[in-house]
Structure 1
Amino acid sequence: MYGKAPKEYLSLWSVIALGIGSMVGAGIFALMGQATLMAGKNVYWSFILGGVAALLSGYTYAKLGSRYPGSGGIMDYFNEAFSHKTLSGALTLIYLGTLVITVALVAKSFGAYASRLFLPDRAVTIYSTALFASVAILLLGALNMGGARAVGKSEVIMVAFKLLILTVLMLASFGSSVPVGADPIPVKGLDGLLGSVGLTFFAFAGYGMMANTAGNLKNPSRTLPRAIFMAIGLVLALYLILSYVVLSNVPATSLESHTETAVAQAAYPVLGMWGFMAVSVAALIATASAINATMFSMLDISRALARNGQLGAIFKQPFWGHGTEGFFYLLLGILVMTNAFNLVAIANLAGACFLISYLAVFVAHWRLRKETQGNALLIILGFLLMLFILGAFFYQMFFSQPYLIPLIVLFVAACFILEFLIRRKIAKNVPGVS
């Protein structure tokens, strides 16, 4: 049903590396400062709430991925759960669009770190940031066209390197924590905590992409659940420890002026300039691996959509290596988005669309729970917690960036309209198809 088994298989550690690479990217290096600024010393609870939601959702992904081990991932789950193909196709397009937006977001973060690391301050401009970001997109796009084995091996190397640097930072911080004196990061109220949960969940959101590796696993029912839970658990522990490092070493005024580089800023008191540079290198590795893993998911989903007639034939037309013409055009679209749009707006759009997509996955799992033998209570708890996070996310945007809400509605509506037009065209060409 899901095609011939691939000749190349990903190992357990390759899948875990893909998951960590997807999560520990722009999420921690770009959003840690903003989440801490909003939640203050309650940022621990914000990460715990986001992590619990990720674990519950990871359970759903593990059950669905084990039962339907196709490379299409979320697309397969929607197609199995919803008989109305316009609905399942539109939900998949929302997710695919979210991945495209996410790559643009992470690439902008990569470009910012690269500019600050490799260029003198006077030479850092929006153009230098755009140049570094564009090079990363093209190089990692070419790597993904090289095939699953190249992606898996590269992720293991990149994840190991960035975790090594972060481990040195954390050990040094525990050994010689520098007091923030009379300018500590304060405890914020409930509004700040609730508003930050959407950001902290986004820092975990990449775990869903691990399900797309099921088609490249020798024993998905065993490997996928272990990989998902291990990756989320390791990332949750990492985020909590890094929260401690930031709270212990970054004064409130410094956090406000260096929000986007809070993790690297925390290295100054304990490791000096060399520590700042090392953490900046880790940020480059983290964002690069996040782009790499996200592109892997994009390629698989777009190819599967084309096979099902939900995207044009160019998404299955060979371009170079394992890549398709459609994937190449997606890369061009990412380049345009990266160089044309504001990072904050892209982050909020991507976060909201991730939550919408993952809520739909809970609904799909509920409808398929007998086939997956899923626990009904865990599905309900996960759905309610994620619905709460989405509500808190919109609550925060209503007061801080209200113009983004209609943009999110417009994006979702556009996906449904596009899928309706695609299905209508198919119905005309193939009678009896709805």
Structure 2
Amino acid sequence: MPDPDDRQVPSGAVSLLRTKPVDRIADESAHTSLRRTLGLVPLIALSVGATLGTGIFVVLGQAAPVAGPAVAVSFAVAALAALFSALSYAELAGAVPVSGSAYSYAYATLGELVAWVCGWCLLLEYGVSVAAVAVGWSGYLNAFLDATLGVQLPAALSGDVVNLPAAVVVLLATAVLVGGVRESAAVTTVTTVLKVLVLLFFVVVAVFGFRSANLAPFAPAGVAGITGAASLVFFSFIGFDAASTAGEEAKNPQRDMPRAIVLSLAIVTVVYVLVALTAVGAVGVDVLEGSDASLATVLQRLTDASWPATVLSAGAVIAIASVVLTVLYGQTRVLVAMSRDGLVPKVFSRVGPRRVPTANTLIVGVVVAVLAALVPLGQLAEATSIGTLVAFGLVNIGVIVLRRTRPDLPRGFRTPWVPVVPLLGLGMCALLVAGLAPATWLAFGIWSVVGLVVYFAYGRRHSELARGE
């Protein structure tokens, strides 16, 4: 008897909308060749590690002048916007626990072409953002070396000609990932704990300089200022979905992945609000305005010693390096799912002796290292925002569709108030996408055209789902 969830048609334009049966996806997850070693804590560390990075170290100086001292509320508002999509991710991560994240969810609910677009967006989000983060890490490393040893790398090796540190950090992360998922999880957990502790250290130091007068007037630009700053800081929350790429390496994905997604967002929100509130309360908005290293600026103003700012700089180096590791992991796992479906070459789903996709990881690591070393990313890096928001939007739609097509499907977590919550998540994604710069849209348009060419030239002809019809 044919699977009731399999509504594909064999050929023609409508075949682009064929969906992959959820039961087939679940069977692939149950018989995965990857190693199931990740419990709840490593999954939380994976998501927190991917989220808690460059954003809080630089974005506060840009957002504080817009909202005033109420910038702490802006972080809470941005977290609420992210929460709508996080709840949708949590349901699908428990119901469809595979490595493909939003790509696999779209394949199960919206069809092959939409899934391809979603996967292509994820490759943009993960791949280019890793390169961009690595370039940022290079700058922080130079600042840290200058503060501690009084030396800096030659300009020709740190961005003017080639960005050697950026390539090195990507290759180091690649080596850790090739070493095995258990080892990668241990490194991720340690670095995530360290950077949370560094930010809590900042909060403790800033509290001693806290002055209530610095919080008045609290919201000089009113609600418009708070929401405007919330749009700026929203992208500091991108990354909470990283746990959803570990569906085939989690010990109990139906139970732990939804928890990891929601808990990681809660942890990041608390840290962000505390840092923003204590920073503004300690030095005021004027000091933060325009600073690219706003947290270090706060510590320099509050203490006569140089070591607190040095500790914070070290935390920034650790934070950004761990983002490189976790996001690179996410990209390789999305490629595993796409390769297994035949939409990209099979080399990306081959598993090595350590039960990790070794060839996939090495290829991705080398390509991203070259990008980080040689390409001035500019507006292309900003296009990762569109890739992320498109994926978020499709996940919100997927929850609504799967509730209608498979109401009987076991779910480790159920998004509350469907369809209201997913529609709010979709609306927030649309609102934020609409506000992005024209140059960002252009870069995304070029990327999308390339993706469609690849799909029709290779993916559609090699689709495993099409072969099985």
CA shift in 2, pair 1:190/1:346, >3 Å: farther
Out of 427, 430, 451, which is 1:387 matched to? 427
Higher normalized helix content (fraction of residues): 1
Q: Are 2:276 and 1:243 equivalent residues in the alignment? A: yes
RMSD: 3.0
Q: How does 1:330-341 map to 2 (within 5 A)?
A: 330-341=364-375
Letter in 1 for 2:28: Y
Out of 377, 396, 402, which is 2:417 matched to? 377
Q: Are 2:68 and 1:34 equivalent residues in the alignment? A: no
TM-score by length of 2: 0.82
Q: How does 1:315-394 map to 2 (within 5 A)?
A: 315-317=348-350, 322-342=356-376, 345-369=379-403, 370=407, 371=409, 374-375=414-415, 377-394=417-434
Structure 2 residue ranges without an equivalent (≥5): 1-26
8 A Cα contact 1:198 1:390, kept in partner: no
CA shift in 2, pair 1:63/1:186, >3 Å: closer
Range 30-39 or range 48-57, more displaced? 30-39
1:25 is displaced (CA, Å) by 0.9
Q: Are 2:248 and 1:215 equivalent residues in the alignment? A: yes
Out of 77, 88, 113, which is 1:86 matched to? 113
Structure 1 residue ranges without an equivalent (≥5): none
Aligned to 2:230: 197
Range 84-93 or range 31-40, more displaced? 31-40
**Partner Cα distance (1:126, 1:200) in 2:** 32
1:344 is displaced (CA, Å) by 5.6
SS at match of 1:2: helix
Aligned to 1:270: 302
Q: Are 2:342 and 1:312 equivalent residues in the alignment? A: no
Q: Indicate the percent of aligned positions where both proteins have the same amino acid.
A: 22
SS at match of 1:216: coil
> Per-residue CA shift, 1:81-134, capped at 9, x if unaligned?
12x312212211111221101111211221111011113477573732522221
Aligned to 2:28: 2
Aligned to 1:65: 93
> Per-residue CA shift, 1:256-303, capped at 9, x if unaligned?
442x21122222123442111101111111111111111111111112
Aligned to 1:128: 158
Please tell me whether Structure 1 or Structure 2 has the larger radius of gyration of its CA atoms: 2
1:234 is displaced (CA, Å) by 1.0
**Partner Cα distance (2:397, 2:104) in 1:** 14
CA shift in 2, pair 1:179/1:104, >3 Å: farther
CA shift in 2, pair 1:386/1:170, >3 Å: farther
CA shift in 2, pair 1:43/1:280, >3 Å: same
8 A Cα contact 1:115 1:124, kept in partner: no
**Partner Cα distance (1:324, 1:221) in 2:** 26
1:423 is displaced (CA, Å) by 3.3
Aligned positions, number: 427
TM-score by length of 1: 0.88
CA shift in 2, pair 1:181/1:376, >3 Å: closer
CA shift in 2, pair 1:57/1:389, >3 Å: closer
**Partner Cα distance (1:327, 1:179) in 2:** 50
1:73 is displaced (CA, Å) by 2.3
Q: Are 2:327 and 1:298 equivalent residues in the alignment? A: no
CA shift in 2, pair 1:235/1:378, >3 Å: farther
Letter in 1 for 2:90: A
Q: How does 1:165-180 map to 2 (within 5 A)?
A: 165-177=198-210
